[in-house]
C-alpha cells in the first residue's frame, strides 16, 4: 500500500549497494495516467519533485537523489501515460513495421527498454526499480508483467524485493502475516516470486513469524527482513546491513561485491543526527496541510529534509511547526502574529493561487520588522518582494498577476512567453522548469552562504517573475537582488543587507531540491546558522 516505505526501501537498497563499490541508479514507475506529476494536487499526491532537466516527478525521485547523492535524469521516471504516449508515437511513425501493437507485449517491452536506457545513461552496475502501487491492483499490472519478462529473459539479472506491511491489530496485540501471504499469492499469480521480503511493521518481526512467512511464501526465513518503524529514515540503510541485505541481493544477482560494505560517510551523517544537542525551532507557513481529517506535510518533503539536514550539520535538531497561513488573516491575526516571536526562523515555501496569501504577507512583514530570520522559497520570494513593495516602498496594493492582474503595481508579473502558453491552455510541463544558472552579487548574504561562488545552478518551477519595470525602484528602496540570471533580466535571489536584517532572503528557485544529507544546501545551512546564533 502507499506510504509503507517502498521509496525509502528502494533508496536504502541503493545506498547499501553503493557502499559495496557499485555504480547505482534508480528508476521510478508510477502507475497513474498523467504524463508527469506536475498537474497533480500536492495534497493528494505529495510534493512535485523537479529534476535538473525540468521534468516534474514524484517525491520518490527526491528520495533517490538525497540517498544516492546523485542527480537523476527524467529518463529514470515513467508513468502509464508516458509509456503509452511513447508506444503510440512509435506506432504512428511505423516503428512497429506493420505489426499489430498490443498491450502485451508492447507496453512491457517499452518499459524494459526504458529501464535499460536509464541504466546505460548512468553507466550503472545495478539499477533499483521501484514499481509504485499495490500488488493485485489493475494499475501496475503491466509493470509487473515487465518485471516477469525481464526475469524470464535473464533470471540472474533480476532480484525481486517485495515490501509488505505486517499489521499488529491493537485489540489482538499479535503480528499478523496473512496479508503478506495473500500479497505473495497475488504476485505469484502474475508469474513473479519475490526473492526477498521487507516486512514493514511498527515492531520487529520475530523468528516464529519469519518462519511462517517463509513457509507460506516459498522462501528461506533469512530472506525475510524485519523493517520496524524507526526514529529516522536515515537509519534504514544501516539497519538493512545488520541483516546483510546487500550480500543477499548480490547472491540473487550472482554478483561479487567490489569491496566490504563501507558506509562510513553515511554513518558519520547518522551520528550527527543522533548527537545533535541544540534545537532550532522553525515555523513553516503554508497551505497544503489538510486532507480530510488528517494533516500531512508530504507536500513539503524536500523542504523538511533540507531544514533537518542543515540543522544536523549545525549540531542541532530541527523542530518544525506547521502553520496554516489563513490563521494570520482576519480578526485573530494580531495575537497569532505575536506568537511568531517564539520561532528561531520562518519559512514560506512554494505555492500557487490566492488562498492564504494575505496571511503569508502578514507573516513576512512581521518577520522583517521583528528581525526574525526569514527564508522565502519561490512563492515565498515573490511574496517577500510584494511585502517590501507594499510596506516599504508604499506601492499600494502591489501584487502578483497570479492573484490580482488588475493591481496598479504588478511587482510580480507573468512573462510574455508564459502568457502565450496560458492563452493556449498549455498547462502541463510548461512552467519555467529545471536547472538554470544564476550569478551572485559580491558582498551579499547569498554570495557568502555559497562560499563566495560567483555562479550557481538551481532548479525552478514557476510561471511568474519579478517585473523588470520595478527592479530599479525596488533596488533603490533597499532590497538587494543578490542573484540574477546571467543576462541580468531575471531576479533569482532577493535579500535585505545584513546590517538591516540578519536573514531576510528569498529565492525564485527551489533550493530544497538540491539539498542532500551528505551535501546540505548552503542557503539552508546559513539560514539555520543565523537562526541558532540569534536564538535567545
What are the residues binding ligand GLN (CB under 6 A)?
A: 350-352, 378-379, 382, 402, 461-464
CB 491 within 8 A of CB 481: yes
In a 13 Å sphere around the CA of 364, the CA atoms on its Cβ side amount to 31
Is residue 339 a contact partner of residue 304, using CB atoms and an 8 Å limit? Answer: no
**Long-range CB pairs of 332-337, under 8 A, 24+ apart, other chains included:** 333/359, 333/362, 337/362, 337/363, 337/366
- Find the shortest distance in angstroms from Cβ 196 to ligand GLN: 39
8 A C-beta contact, residue 445 and residue 505? yes
Is residue 127 within 8 Å of residue 119, measured between CB atoms?
A: yes
Q: Is-cis flag, bond preceding 105, omega within 30?
A: yes
Verify whether residue 378 is a known catalytic residue: yes
Marked catalytic residue, from 45, 409, 460, 510: 510
Nearer of residues 199 and 506 to ligand GLN, judged by Cβ: 506
For residue 395, the minimal CB distance to ligand GLN (Å) is: 19
Q: Which residue reads 540570471 in cell numbers?
A: 485
Q: Give the pairing of strands 504-507 and 491-495.
A: antiparallel
Given the residues 378, 460, 492, 501, the one annotated as active site: 378
Q: Is 477 exposed, middle or buried (0-12, 13-18, 19+ CB in 10 A)?
A: middle
Annotated active-site residue 510? The verdict is yes
- The answer for residues whose C-beta is within 8 angstroms of residue 47's C-beta and 6 or more apart is 59, 62, 298, 299, 300, 301, 302
Which residue's CB comes closest to ligand GLN?
Answer: 350
Question: Measured from the CB of residue 355, what is the shortest distance to ligand GLN in angstroms?
Answer: 12
The residue among 14 and 42 lying less far from ligand GLN, judged by its C-beta, is: 42
Q: How far is the CB of 358 from ligand GLN (least distance, A)?
A: 15
Q: Which residues pair with 438 in a beta bridge?
A: 456
CA distance linking residue 453 with residue 401, whole number of Å: 33
Question: Which CB sits closer to ligand GLN, 49 or 143?
Answer: 49
* Residue nearer to ligand GLN on the CB measure, 48 or 318: 48
Torsion, CA 93, CA 111, CA 25, CA 456, rounded to 10? 40
Q: Could you tell me which of 374, 326, 331, 312 has the C-alpha nearest to residue 349?
A: 374
Contact (CB, 8 A) for 193 and 187: yes
Shortest separation between residue 382's beta carbon and ligand GLN, angstroms: 6
Nearest approach, Cβ of 167 to ligand GLN (angstroms)? 38
Query: Cell digits for 113?
Result: 527498454
Q: How far is the CB of 348 from ligand GLN (least distance, A)?
A: 9
Q: Distance (Å, rounded) from C-alpha 520 to C-alpha 197?
A: 32
CB nearer ligand GLN, residue 147 or residue 523: 523
Tracing cell 508510477 back to the chain, one arrives at 30
Indicate the residue among 313 and 432 with the shorter CB distance to ligand GLN. Answer: 432
**Nearest distance from C-beta of residue 301 to ligand GLN, angstroms:** 14
Which residue number, 237 or 351, has a Cβ lying nearer to ligand GLN? 351
Q: Which is nearer to ligand GLN, 203 or 422 (CB)?
A: 422
Query: Would you say 67 or 288 has its CB closer to ligand GLN?
Result: 288
Instruction: State the catalytic residue, choosing from 305, 329, 492, 512.
Output: 512
CA nearest neighbour of 284 among 222, 235, 327, 332? 327
Query: What number of other Cβ atoms are within 10 A of residue 271's Cβ?
Result: 11
Rounded to 10 deg, the angle between the 245-252 and 6-18 helix axes is 80
Q: Does the active-site annotation cover 512?
A: yes
Kindly state the smallest distance separating residue 366's Cβ from ligand GLN, in Å. Answer: 20
| Cα distances (angstroms) measured from residue 458 to each of 49, 64, 429, 454, 492 | 13, 18, 18, 13, 9
Angle CA(357)–CA(363)–CA(364) in degrees, nearest 5? 90
Smallest separation (angstroms) from ligand GLN to the CB of 440: 21
Which is nearer to ligand GLN, 22 or 379 (by Cβ)?
379
Which residues are CB-contacts of 454 (< 8 A; sequence separation ≥ 6)? Answer: 439, 440, 447
| Residues designated as active site | 378, 510, 512
Amino acid at each position: 500500500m502507499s506510504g509503507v516505505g517502498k521509496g525509502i526501501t528502494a533508496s536504502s537498497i541503493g545506498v547499501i549497494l553503493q557502499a559495496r563499490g557499485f555504480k547505482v541508479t534508480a528508476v521510478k514507475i508510477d502507475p497513474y495516467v498523467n504524463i508527469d506529476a506536475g498537474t497533480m494536487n500536492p495534497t493528494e499526491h505529495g510534493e512535485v519533485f523537479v529534476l535538473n532537466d525540468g521534468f516534474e516527478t514524484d517525491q520518490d525521485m527526491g528520495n533517490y537523489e538525497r540517498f544516492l547523492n546523485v542527480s537523476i535524469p527524467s529518463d529514470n521516471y515513467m508513468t502509464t501515460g508516458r509509456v503509452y504516449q511513447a508506444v503510440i508515437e512509435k506506432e504512428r511513425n511505423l516503428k512497429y513495421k506493420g505489426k499489430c501493437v498490443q498491450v502485451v507485449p508492447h507496453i512491457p517491452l517499452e518499459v524494459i527498454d526504458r529501464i535499460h536506457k536509464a541504466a546505460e545513461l548512468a553507466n550503472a552496475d545495478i539499477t533499483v526499480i521501484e514499481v509504485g502501487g499495490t500488488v493485485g491492483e489493475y494499475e501496475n499490472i503491466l509493470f509487473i508483467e515487465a518485471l516477469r519478462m525481464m526475469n524470464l529473459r535473464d533470471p540472474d539479472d533480476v532480484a525481486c524485493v517485495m515490501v509488505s506491511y505486517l499489521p499488529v491489530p491493537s485489540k489482538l496485540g499479535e503480528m499478523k502475516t496473512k496479508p503478506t501471504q495473500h500479497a505473495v499469492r497475488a504476485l505469484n499469480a502474475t508469474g513473479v516470486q519475490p526473492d526477498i521480503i521487507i516486512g514493514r511493521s511498527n515492531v520487529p518481526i520475530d523468528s516464529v513469524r519469519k518462519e511462517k512467512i517463509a513457509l507460506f511464501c516459498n522462501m528461506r526465513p533469512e530472506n525475510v527482513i524485519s523493517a520496524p518503524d524507526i526514529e529516522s529514515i536515515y537509519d534504514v540503510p544501516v539497519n538493512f546491513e545488520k541483516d546483510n541485505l546487500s550480500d543477499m541481493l548480490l547472491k540473487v544477482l550472482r554478483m561479487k561485491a567490489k569491496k566490504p560494505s563501507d558506509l562510513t560517510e553515511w554513518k558519520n551523517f547518522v551520528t550527527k543526527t543522533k548527537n545533535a544537542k541544540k534545537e532550532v525551532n522553525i515555523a513553516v507557513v503554508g497551505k497544503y496541510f489538510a486532507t480530510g481529517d488528517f494533516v500531512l506535510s508530504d507536500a513539503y518533503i524536500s523542504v523538511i529534509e533540507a531544514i533537518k539536514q542543515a540543522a544536523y550539520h549545525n549540531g542541532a535538531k530541527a523542530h518544525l511547526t506547521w502553520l496554516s497561513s489563513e490563521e494570520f488573516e482576519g480578526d485573530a491575526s494580531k495575537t497569532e502574529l505575536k506568537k511568531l516571536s517564539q520561532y528561531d526562523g520562518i519559512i514560506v515555501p512554494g505555492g500557487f493561487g490566492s488562498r492564504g496569501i494575505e496571511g503569508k504577507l502578514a507573516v513576512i512583514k512581521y518577520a522583517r520588522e521583528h528581525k526574525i530570520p526569514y527564508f522565502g522559497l519561490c512563492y515565498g520570494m515573490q511574496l517577500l518582494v510584494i511585502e517590501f513593495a507594499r510596506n516599504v516602498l508604499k506601492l499600494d496594493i502591489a501584487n502578483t498577476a497570479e492573484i490580482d492582474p488588475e493591481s496598479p503595481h504588478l511587482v510580480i508579473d507573468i512573462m510574455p512567453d508564459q502568457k502565450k502558453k496560458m492563452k493556449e491552455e498549455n498547462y502541463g510541463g510548461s512552467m519555467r522548469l529545471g536547472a538554470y544558472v544564476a550569478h551572485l552579487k559580491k558582498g551579499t548574504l547569498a554570495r557568502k552562504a555559497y562560499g563566495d561562488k560567483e555562479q550557481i545552478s538551481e532548479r525552478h518551477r514557476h510561471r511568474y517573475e519579478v517585473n523588470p519595470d520595478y527592479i530599479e525602484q525596488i533596488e533603490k528602496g533597499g532590497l538587494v537582488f543578490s542573484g540574477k540570471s546571467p543576462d541580468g533580466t531575471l531576479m533569482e535571489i532577493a535579500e535585505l543587507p545584513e546590517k538591516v536584517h540578519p536573514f531576510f532572503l528569498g529565492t525564485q528557485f527551489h533550493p530544497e531540491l538540491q539539498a542532500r544529507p551528505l551535501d546540505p544546501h548552503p542557503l539552508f545551512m546559513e539560514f539555520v546558522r543565523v537562526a541558532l546564533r540569534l536564538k535567545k
